[in-house]
């Protein structure tokens, strides 16, 4: 090697080491955060189990807007109502992307999922369709089937109370598998960190089990989603409509600009996004009622005085049940279903106060931390529905509530959950039914007779945060109510009949 070549190599190595030295370190204009290590940044300390707990602890140390470095990538964590407004709610057009995830690319390829697709024309077309289908007004049309489903749940609690945990989430096995497999691949560590070390994508298949797993999920999704769409098309063709929203989408397919594949995936997206979220909320609700029996008794008293015993609850009754409304809000606050929502990304450099957040950062909405912020909430770790009786947003006296919201659990900005109205109706109908019909108590030790507390911290975070299986003693409040539930369940048969076969996949699906 000539002296010149050695000199050039030396300069090149110096340049590489200079560049690498910067990788992982926090840029000057970024919000503060935990100290970084060269190249890996904060990767070594980033929590993978219940990450929202550590992220909330860091928010206390580094502020409502702080940053983390995961190798060259920047993550910004937003942890107070005001910071959400400033960073996301008021910057809808630039803070509404979704970060690239290798697991998503593997499963979906060119196909699109409204939840995961990046901000752009496809997202807009899908979002518009869902907005029309799930607006507050449109949801009124879905009430009959929601009523029937809620009646079925009461009936299942009545006839088989020890299996209440599974009754709350009686969903088709294929959808359950779909969600579990998606969760396995998109959670941290589900695939190697291709986002940080792109060359890892070329690991041969025999050492990369996640590639086969992604193919399996994709095949399952396509069979299921296309099969369900085919069933709907057949029904429309045979003039056997049941009012499901996909019929509307098919009628206006051109206007919405959606092809066959996009509509099929939309069905899948909504099933996956809607099923688990509402179910884990209801499981937390039951656990809270059994644990805080004084709250349960007060909500029941309110229901008894408004609804009485001669009829079952209707969705509009909620307007006359302020304490139950407060309990519903407090369960959302106390155990948020999606404690870190779904990550956003910014499509341009954003200046926020003195900070600059570089384009393509990952923005985490720390819902858990927002609802535990001591400047806003008194005793935030305690279950106290009364906070929502004293103030609309559950905040402590003296807090400026301008621009605050009650629904951080549903996300922020333009990506805020479009299924919120549907979810709220389902939650309202079910919890009114629960408390009208049943008493929930913690179980008793069979030998000592002592009550056994439900551990409200024994939870699992998959796509959502939910309580692990627990026992609960559920008894009808009277025989008269039990008989009314049986009668209502029998009457719901005609509504269910309209939706029969909705979840049976047609083997002749066009997806093949
Ligand atoms: C308790 C029930 C629910 C909770 C807590 C919940 C929560 C969320 C959250 C946190 C997001 C992310 C928002 C963001 O990125 O800022 C989201 C998005 C979404 N949710 Fe929900 N959700 C619930 C029920 C539903 C239901 C019933 C449906 C539909 C049937 C639904 C459909 C969606 C869709 C399609 C998105 C993606 C929106 C987009 O990226 O533009 N969700 N939800």
Query: What pLDDT, in 10s, does the model give residues 35-90?
Result: 999 989 999 999 989 999 999 999 999 999 999 999 889 999 999 999 999 999 99
pLDDT of residue 11: 66
| Cα separation, 187 vs 348, whole angstroms | 26
Q: Say yes or no: CB of residue 277 within 6 Å of ligand 1.
A: yes
Q: How far is the CA of 421 from the centre of ligand 1 (A)?
A: 10
Q: In percent, how much of the chain has pLDDT > 90?
A: 69
Q: How far is the CA of 410 from the centre of ligand 1 (A)?
A: 6
> pLDDT band for position 418 (50/70/90)?
very high
pLDDT of residue 207: 87
pLDDT of residue 33: 97
> pLDDT band for position 199 (50/70/90)?
confident
Residue 10 has pLDDT above 70, yes or no: no
Q: What is the arithmetic mean of pLDDT over 473-499? A: 91
Cβ burial, residue 473 (10 Å; 0-12/13-18/19+): middle
Which residues on adjacent β-strands are paired with residue 465? 461
Q: Say yes or no: CB of residue 467 within 6 Å of ligand 1.
A: no
Q: Say yes or no: CB of residue 409 within 6 Å of ligand 1.
A: yes
pLDDT of residue 512: 32
Q: Where in the chain is the domain with CATH 1.10.630.10?
A: 80-336+371-498
Q: Give Cα separations from 54 to 206, 368, 404, 474 (angstroms).
A: 35, 10, 25, 35
Reference 85, options 372, 400, 397; nearest CA is 400
Average pLDDT score over the chain = 90
Q: Where in the chain is the domain with CATH 3.30.43?
A: 22-79+339-370
Q: Say yes or no: CB of residue 431 within 6 Å of ligand 1.
A: no
> pLDDT band for position 5 (50/70/90)?
low
Is the CATH number of domain 80-336+371-498 1.10.630.10?
yes
Q: What is the arithmetic mean of pLDDT over 218-225? A: 89
pLDDT of residue 500: 65
Q: How far is the CA of 28 from the centre of ligand 1 (A)?
A: 35
Closest atom of ligand 1 to CA, residue 336: 5
Please name the fold of domain 22-79+339-370. Answer: 3.30.43
Would you state the structure tokens that stand for residue 440, as one six-digit string?
A: 């929930």
Would you state the structure tokens that stand for residue 23, as one six-digit string?
A: 């990788």
Residue 503 has pLDDT above 50, yes or no: no
Q: Are 67 and 26 in contact (CB under 8 A)?
A: yes
Residue 504 has pLDDT above 70, yes or no: no
Determine phi and psi for 363, rounding to 5 degrees.
-105, 120
pLDDT of residue 290: 98
Determine phi and psi for 144, rounding to 5 degrees.
-55, -45
Query: Which are the contacts of 499, defined by CB distance < 8 A and separation ≥ 6?
Result: 145, 242, 244
Determine which of 196-200, 300-304, 372-376 has the lowest per-residue pLDDT on average: 196-200
Q: What is the arithmetic mean of pLDDT over 355-363? A: 96
Determine which of 74-88, 167-181, 322-336, 446-460 has the lowest per-residue pLDDT on average: 167-181
pLDDT of residue 20: 61
Q: How far is the CA of 465 from the centre of ligand 1 (A)?
A: 14
Residue 505 has pLDDT above 60, yes or no: no
Whole-prediction pTM value? 0.91
Ligand 1 pocket, mutate which of 88, 141, 277 (most atoms under 8 A from CB) = 277
Q: What is the arithmetic mean of pLDDT over 198-214? A: 85
Ligand 1 pocket, mutate which of 138, 142, 419 (most atoms under 8 A from CB) = 419
pLDDT of residue 138: 87
Q: Say yes or no: CB of residue 341 within 6 Å of ligand 1.
A: yes
> pLDDT band for position 345 (50/70/90)?
very high
Residue 1 has pLDDT above 70, yes or no: no
Tens-digit pLDDT profile for residues 264-294: 999 999 988 888 899 999 999 999 999 999 9
pLDDT of residue 221: 87
Q: Whose CA is nearest to atom 13 of ligand 1?
A: 411
> pLDDT band for position 21 (50/70/90)?
low
Q: What is the arithmetic mean of pLDDT over 363-372? A: 98
Q: Say yes or no: CB of residue 125 within 6 Å of ligand 1.
A: no
| Cα separation, 503 vs 125, whole angstroms | 25
Q: Say yes or no: CB of residue 78 within 6 Å of ligand 1.
A: no
> pLDDT band for position 119 (50/70/90)?
very high
């Amino acid at each position: 090697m000539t002296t010149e070549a050695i000199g050039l190599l030396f300069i090149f190595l110096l340049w590489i080491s200079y560049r690498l030295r910067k990788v992982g370190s926090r840029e000057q204009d970024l919000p503060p955060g935990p100290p970084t290590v060269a190249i890996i940044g904060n990767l070594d300390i980033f929590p993978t189990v219940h990450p929202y707990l550590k992220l909330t602890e860091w928010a206390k140390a580094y502020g409502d807007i702080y940053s983390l470095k995961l190798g060259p990538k920047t993550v910004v964590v937003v942890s107070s109502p005001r910071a959400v407004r400033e960073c996301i709610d008021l910057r809808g057009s630039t803070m509404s992307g979704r970060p690239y995830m290798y697991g998503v690319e593997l499963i979906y390829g060119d196909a699109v999922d409204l939840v995961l697709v990046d901000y752009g024309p496809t997202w807009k077309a899908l979002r518009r369709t869902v907005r029309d289908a799930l607006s507050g007004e449109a949801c009124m049309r879905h009430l009959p089937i929601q009523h029937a489903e809620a009646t079925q749940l009461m009936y299942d609690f009545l006839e088989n109370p020890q299996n209440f945990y599974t009754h709350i989430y009686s969903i088709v096995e294929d959808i359950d598998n779909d969600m579990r497999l998606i969760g396995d691949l998109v959670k941290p560590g589900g695939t190697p960190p291709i986002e940080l070390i792109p060359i890892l994508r070329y690991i041969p298949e025999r050492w990369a089990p996640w590639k086969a797993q992604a193919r399996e999920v994709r095949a399952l999704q396509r069979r299921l989603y296309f099969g369900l769409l085919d069933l709907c098309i057949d029904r429309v063709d045979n003039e056997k409509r049941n009012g499901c929203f996909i019929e509307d989408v098919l009628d206006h397919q051109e206007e919405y600009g959606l092809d066959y594949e996009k509509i099929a995936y939309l069905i899948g997206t909504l099933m996956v996004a809607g099923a688990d979220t509402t179910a884990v909320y209801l499981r937390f609700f039951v656990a809270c009622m059994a644990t805080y029996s004084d709250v349960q008794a007060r909500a029941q008293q309110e229901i008894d005085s408004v609804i009485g015993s001669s009829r079952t609850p209707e969705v509009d009754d909620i307007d006359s049940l302020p304490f139950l409304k407060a309990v519903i809000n407090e369960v959302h606050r106390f155990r948020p279903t999606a404690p870190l929502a779904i990550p956003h990304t910014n499509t341009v450099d954003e200046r926020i106060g003195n900070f600059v957040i570089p384009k393509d950062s990952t923005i985490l909405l720390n819902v858990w931390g927002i609802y535990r912020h001591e400047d806003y909430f008194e005793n935030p770790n305690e279950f106290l529905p009364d906070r929502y009786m004293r103030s609309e947003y559950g905040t402590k006296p003296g807090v400026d509530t301008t621009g605050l919201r009650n629904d951080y659990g549903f996300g922020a900005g333009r990506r805020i959950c479009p299924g919120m109205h549907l979810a709220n109706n389902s939650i309202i109908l079910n919890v009114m039914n629960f408390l009208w019909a049943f008493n929930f108590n913690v179980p008793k030790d069979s030998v000592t007779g002592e009550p056994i507390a439900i551990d409200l911290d024994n939870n699992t975070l998959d796509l959502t945060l939910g309580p692990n299986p627990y026992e609960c003693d559920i008894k009808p409040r009277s025989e008269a109510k039990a008989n009314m539930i049986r009668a209502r369940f029998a009457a719901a048969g005609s509504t269910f009949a309209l939706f029969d076969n909705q979840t049976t996949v047609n083997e002749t699906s066009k997806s093949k």
